[in-house]
Structure 1
Amino acid sequence: MVKPVSSDLLIAGGGLAGIVTALEALRAGKSVTIVDRDSPERFGGLALWAFGGMMLIDTPLQRRMRIADSPELALNDWLRFGELDPNDEWPVQWARYYVEHSRTEVHDWLANEGIKFMPAVNWVERGRFGDGNSVPRYHITWGTSRELVRCMVNALHEANTSGRLAIHHRHRMTALDHQAGEVCGAVAINEETGEEVRFEAPNVVLAMGGINGSHAECRANWPRHRPQPATMLNGAHPFADGKLHHWAKDHLGARITHAGEMWNYAAGFPHPYPHFPGHGLSTIPCKSALWLNHRGERIGPEPLVTGFDTHWLCQRVADQEKPWTWHLLNRRIALKEFAISGAEHNARIRDKQFPLFLKELLLGNKPLVNQMQNESRHFLVDDTLEGLAKKMNALTCSLDIDAATLQATADAFDANFSKGDQLNNDAQIRMIRHARQWGPDRLRTCKPAPLQKPGAGPFIAIHMQLTTRKSLGGLRTDLQSRVMDASGQPIRGLYCVGEAAGFGGGGSNGKRSLEGTFLPGCILTARAAARSITKGN
């Protein structure tokens, strides 16, 4: 019989939460084993591909920009926007912990690790009625989240003195070992050889991500009272399938809470070079684009505009007759506003090319627009609306779009400008003007103008689908990241961090995120787990 692999700490998952847990444990003198299902080059999980935005409170950058923020203000925004139940103890406790410690345990800690932020704070998720972020809090990691992962992995190896770290790539954890109610190890399968491997450790940390990588799991948990699209894209990863969540629930009495709450994105399209079947890219929708249904009619009466309430956008998109929508815009809008979330398509930020970043910010991101025009068949371009309508129908193999309807949609919007700049009365134009009042957002948002403005073309239509991304629910944990059983007692030896724990407590964000709460949530829960383990709690 093969001898089990032994260490002080066993971690399931090599994403950001698992890496930070391992780093803190190594620095405290513990031996650590990480079991990760993915390949070595993808070590870092979804954080390796993420954009790197973080919601941080009362930072030096906010103060330099004269943004008056505080944990009290942030908590009020968080509880209101997320609609958290005040009696839901651990999610509320984690929300409070986040706002009170994001400055010291995330911002300052990362600064000490060499991470820098871009010199502006963006204002996202403002709420349709001002019920979201009451002030700008969205800090962007310089180098994207890929730089964050690089720094953390480098620190991990630097802390690995005396060979106290073992990483087992391409291993799938299938079960936990436990005796007398105490977790003491795990079983995994080496997916290259099919061999079963046993691991021993007095502490096991679940850091395997959420459940949204499995559409079957996603649909099973989807709230019945909310519309669900017939088809969706996958912006997570198939390995995030929820199987270990269910194993812990079925065999150890762990609680999975708020599994139906998800942070999906309303406007995605298939990755031109997919990493896995159904892989979707999430766009940052252009505020100035008209959001249309499958017939080319503007969705309303309240227009769909990004930056205010992503949760509501997803419900409106899911409620459409067909499982896709269209963004209608022109090249002028695309150059200034079109963006794709993530490290892969933000090369200037990812590669720290500040002069080129400024050039594209001021003159337009021609490389990205041209790239999508060449690579994606869902990014359609034509000099006329009639020609665009034909291409839209060809893509969907339908006759849904009538050219006259598309023309009427554009004409109705453009009529807002026929009597001058002060006499238009359109909710989308009002929202755009509100967004442009904040300097950093003004740089990425066009001044309102007719869609058919001479010289602004050609016209562009982007075929969009709802794209699954993050699980807001997960295994219930206390403030030490210990997994709780049905009676509210910690399961001895078992911890859970990051998305697997719903970013703390099994659902700290409630129904909505203020955006940028996920990377910090991974860091906060991971550091809490490591503290508890190293102190022997």
Structure 2
Amino acid sequence: MPLNETDVIVVGAGLAGLVAAAEIADAGKRALLLDQEGEQSLGGQAFWSLGGLFLVDSPEQRRLGIRDSAALATQDWQQAAGFDRPEDYWPQQWARAYLDFAAGEKRSWLADQGVRFFPAVGWAERGSNSVPRFHIVWGSGPGLVEPFTRRVREHVAAGRIVFKFRHRVRGLNMNNGAVTGVHGEVLEASDVARGERSSRVVVGDFEFTAGAVILTSGGIGGNPALVRQNWPSERLGPAPETMLSGVPAHVDGLMQLAAQGAGASLINPDRMWHYTEGLQNWNPIWPSHGIRVLPGPSSLWLDPSGQRLPYPHYPGFDTLGTLQHLTTHGFPYTWFVLNRAIIKKEFALSGSEQNPDWTERDIGKTLGRMGRQVQPPVQAFMDHGADFVVQGSLPELVRGMNELIGNEAVDLETVEREVRERDAQTLNAVGKDTQLAVIRAARNLLSERLTRVVKPAPLLNPADGPLIAVRMNILTRKTLGGLETDLHSRVLAPGGAVMPGLYAAGEVSGFGGGGMHGYRSLEGTFLGGCLFSGRVAGRAAAAL
């Protein structure tokens, strides 16, 4: 076979691309794996992730007394997704197929490849998930990428997969309406660290031919201009003037646009998943680098003036609903007010690099989370982060908040009222505060009580001090819409006709079908969507 020909070309060496390439080679076919970044970025965004996966009725859930089922998960998914468009036909089909996978062979398939899970199950999106379903891979994101990297490298050694790094695909080659290959530019070699902005100096061009092309090139979260272009102003109001980026700059969405330009159907581009609990990374790797807080439910969430956000806008409860509340009210940021007791137990930072104990599979360090000290990555943000204020009294805290933002927007009288009214409701086992009701209900689960949710107590309790205020920024992250695909991951043209030879998987396809999450994610479904759609695409393309 000539060097510029292969059975299947895979564009993008993130998790979906690795899975697809491994499945192609397992079937005895040859794959060419292209990526615009260097080999040091193998695994893409999955490497940076916490490694959370959505599983249904898992052994981990059952051991904790959590009763889950495919029917309950389907009910939660449909309510959260809110499918309401004619073009949601394939997204709904993909949602059903993915739920079957998550409730079926997903865990055993991963376990057979050596993936193991932390025994406690997290409760993300508490306003949408009826029960905890967020399973963290032991080894976090790198631990999930590892078995697929291993499989791919074994096939590289056997000659069934060829890597071509620093190859930026610019377009699709067409012949009689079928996709027959790709073309693009060779970028100069770059040894920058994973995630850092790499050179875009072009040193050559290329063209490759194949029987099929699979696009696994990711979303748009690192392209602020494209995020703003697709921002749903009619639903969310105007896009914020300032947003942090949860992904590197090379997550630019340009391959998605190239496919659309070649005739592919791109649907639901206005559906995106951005977080409201973003921190400026004190040690950034990429431009505007933000870190998402995975909050427990106990922090008091205030608007820029110091007023408490209304129900149901509680930490970790409803990401899209809270984003809509903030953006339609024109809030550029919000505040968490908490204390040392809460930040110690309830403040988790998303990302493999922010959780070295899990990433390094260090049992001793992991058990240290049960101790009295704030976790070192969180403490580093308290010490160096631009969004943190730590003080011994409420007046000092409010003064520090105003100094941080450079004006007098936070009103001390308002904050004192909100804190004292909240604290008064902690003195009895019952009360009228709905946020505290959520907290008490969560603590009925042993895992939540032991590892995640503090016992309701006054914020102003001196024994739990000092007081802490954290400015929360909006953080770009995921693309929920994408290239429309059928259940074989074949890309469709507008009107529903199959584009012969073209497949898509992962975020570029809205994780399947062009948007299997609808408007909302139940969380843990992004990595899982890459796994599932990458597997489907690889197997389908290999069967040609």
* TM norm structure 1: 0.94
Corresponding position of 2:12: 13
Corresponding position of 1:245: 256
Cα pair distance change 1:61/1:422, threshold 3 Å: closer
> Would you say the 8 A contact 1:86–1:92 is kept in 2?
no
Amino acid at match of 2:442: A
Q: Match for 1:430 among 431, 437, 442? A: 437
C-alpha deviation, 1:414, in angstroms: 2.1
Q: How do 1:67-466 residues align onto structure 2 when only pairs under 5 Å count? A: 67-85=66-84, 88-127=88-127, 132-192=128-188, 193-225=202-234, 226-227=236-237, 228-251=239-262, 253-300=263-310, 302=311, 304-417=313-426, 420-422=427-429, 424-442=431-449, 443-466=451-474
Corresponding position of 1:64: 63
Amino acid at match of 2:64: M
Q: Match for 1:489 among 497, 521, 527? A: 497
Amino acid at match of 2:269: A
Q: Does 1:501 align with 2:500?
A: no
User: How far apart, CA to CA, are the structure 1 residues paired with 2:388 and 2:76?
Assistant: 36
User: How far apart, CA to CA, are the structure 2 residues paired with 1:184 and 1:45?
Assistant: 26
Amino acid at match of 2:122: N
> Would you say the 8 A contact 1:26–1:160 is kept in 2?
no
User: Deviation per CA, 1:233-284, whole angstroms, max 9, x where unpaired?
Assistant: 1112322222221221122x21111111112111101111222211111111
The range that moved more, 15-24 or 527-536, is 527-536
Alpha-carbon RMSD: 1.9
| Corresponding residue SS for 2:425 | helix
Cα pair distance change 1:69/1:7, threshold 3 Å: same
Cα pair distance change 1:413/1:61, threshold 3 Å: closer
> Would you say the 8 A contact 1:292–1:298 is kept in 2?
yes
Amino acid at match of 1:250: G
User: How far apart, CA to CA, are the structure 1 residues paired with 2:176 and 2:94?
Assistant: 29
C-alpha deviation, 1:69, in angstroms: 3.0
C-alpha deviation, 1:310, in angstroms: 1.5
User: How far apart, CA to CA, are the structure 1 residues paired with 2:66 and 2:459?
Assistant: 34
Amino acid at match of 2:526: F
User: How far apart, CA to CA, are the structure 2 residues paired with 1:90 and 1:423?
Assistant: 46
> Would you say the 8 A contact 1:361–1:444 is kept in 2?
no
> Would you say the 8 A contact 2:349–2:378 is kept in 1?
no
User: Deviation per CA, 1:382-429, whole angstroms, max 9, x where unpaired?
Assistant: 112222223222221222123343333322322324xx3146321211
Amino acid at match of 1:261: R
Amino acid at match of 1:214: N
C-alpha deviation, 1:124, in angstroms: 2.5
Amino acid at match of 1:39: G
> Would you say the 8 A contact 1:16–1:47 is kept in 2?
yes
| Corresponding residue SS for 1:151 | helix
> Would you say the 8 A contact 2:212–2:503 is kept in 1?
yes
User: How far apart, CA to CA, are the structure 1 residues paired with 2:62 and 2:308?
Assistant: 40
The range that moved more, 73-82 or 359-368, is 359-368
C-alpha deviation, 1:289, in angstroms: 1.2
> Would you say the 8 A contact 2:143–2:359 is kept in 1?
yes
> Would you say the 8 A contact 2:278–2:475 is kept in 1?
yes
> Would you say the 8 A contact 2:8–2:212 is kept in 1?
yes
| Corresponding residue SS for 1:455 | helix
Amino acid at match of 1:292: L
> Would you say the 8 A contact 2:55–2:134 is kept in 1?
yes
Amino acid at match of 2:437: R
Corresponding position of 2:533: 525
Amino acid at match of 2:18: I
| Corresponding residue SS for 2:297 | coil
> Would you say the 8 A contact 1:293–1:320 is kept in 2?
no
The range that moved more, 307-316 or 325-334, is 307-316
| Corresponding residue SS for 1:7 | strand
> Would you say the 8 A contact 1:4–1:197 is kept in 2?
no
The range that moved more, 362-371 or 255-264, is 362-371
Identity of aligned residues (%): 39
> Would you say the 8 A contact 1:174–1:187 is kept in 2?
yes
User: How far apart, CA to CA, are the structure 2 residues paired with 1:464 and 1:123?
Assistant: 20
The range that moved more, 470-479 or 403-412, is 403-412
Q: Which runs of 5+ in 1 are unaligned?
A: none
Corresponding position of 1:28: 27
C-alpha deviation, 1:322, in angstroms: 3.3
Cα pair distance change 1:423/1:79, threshold 3 Å: closer
Corresponding position of 1:515: 523
User: How far apart, CA to CA, are the structure 2 residues paired with 1:291 and 1:67?
Assistant: 28
User: How far apart, CA to CA, are the structure 1 residues paired with 2:37 and 2:306?
Assistant: 41
